Amino acid sequence: MALKLPIYMDHNATTPMDPRVLEAMLPYFTEKFGNSASRNHEFGWEAEDGVKLARKQVGGLIGADPKEIIWTSGSTESNNLAIKGVADMYKDKGRHIITAIHEHKATLDPCKRLAKMGYDVTWLEPAADGIVTAKQVAEAIREDTILVTIMWANNELGTINELPAIGKVCKEKGVLLHTDATQAVGKIPVDVNAAGVDLLSGSAHKIYGPKGAGFLYVRRRKPRVRLTPIIDGGGHERGMRSGTLNVTGIVGLGKACELCRLEMDEETARLSKLRDKLDQGILSQLEHAVINGKADQRLPQTTNISFPYVEGESMMMAIKEIAVSSGSACTSASLEPSYVLKALGLGDEIAHSSIRFGLGRFTTEEEVDFTIDKVVTAVKKLLELSPLYEMVLEGIDINAIEWGAH
């Protein structure tokens, strides 16, 4: 079979829908089109049944009770509801929040908004390996801390933070823990109880489901978490998120979660093997290439590689048959180097020359071979054209150069 171009290697940004998810959704567009809040007739009941099943499927994937699942439009909304909802509900108890500087913008921006409103936010900085540790969290917690929000796995690096150890610290100190688990759910085992998590955000489109559907897990027991809603009107979703439910999207999200639960072990084994092949194929042929973040504590399908002395934009052009990303999709409209990589202490040049590869359910070995070949050829060619690399070969320390102003 001929290789179909372009090749998709950007599964951390979004995933193609699994045909089995689409199949589960289709009847809810046309035949079972009822409003799940219409309690007086069969059309509404049918829709509600679909929603109920999805709650079970999502709960089953993360070890939660179905009643603890609140439907949202995706992780950005879930993060906003969790962070702002807790901040407002518990403001009399304290106004201190802890997060990290290399979180997704959907966590950073709500925290910045709260800081403007007079909340005190502590921004933890990861070590060079990109990991946020339980020790860092423990040292930052104060009497007036009401929320810790730390992502489970990083979207750019694939690095996995120290959950459940962070959960243990929060439990001991009686502080609520929210985790943006958008990249972790469905890819690695996630259990809200074992990890001591009180609120967890997830999204359908990262796990082969539809865009525009997500969820927020909100703990109901020990402790019972309460949130001030962002959207009022009708009191849907235990009063936390009003609005007619996106039944088709929710059904798809549920099915996507069920498939992840059933196929995760097999998929993890296959994808980590392919990812390791990609890493080794590139690193063995390019002596300066380096993996960003802690290599043995990453998601099975993600790798982020820096190609020193090569300019990121020209690199993207040189491998345009492969869809990859430099930086995060949500902020890639700017040419700024990735703030996540800068948080690891990487200089602008290295941060600029980094590429994230995200493999997925439908990625083939053939595609990985093509990618290795393409990337290695492109980098070698660009290095030949690089004046910086020429200096390095001549033994000049380019960090010591003082560039004169033109």
Catalytically active residues, by annotation: 330
Residues 6+ apart with CB under 8 A from 269: none
Which residues face 325 on adjacent strands? 356
**Which of 5-18 are b and which e, b meaning 16 or more Cβ less than 10 Å from the residue's Cβ?**
eebbbbbbbbbebb
Report which secondary-structure segment, H or E, holds 50: helix 42-62
**Which of 369-380 are b and which e, b meaning 16 or more Cβ less than 10 Å from the residue's Cβ?**
ebbbebbbebbe
Q: How many helices (H) and strands (E) does the chain have?
A: 13, 12
Structure tokens at 17: 């829908």
Which residues face 43 on adjacent strands? none
Beta-strand ranges (E) seen in 88-243 are 96-100, 120-124, 145-149, 176-180, 199-203, 214-218
Q: Tokens 């219409």 correspond to what residue?
A: 38
Among candidate residues 302, 336, 360, the one with its CA nearest the CA of residue 130: 302
Among candidate residues 193, 139, 156, the one with its CA nearest the CA of residue 171: 193
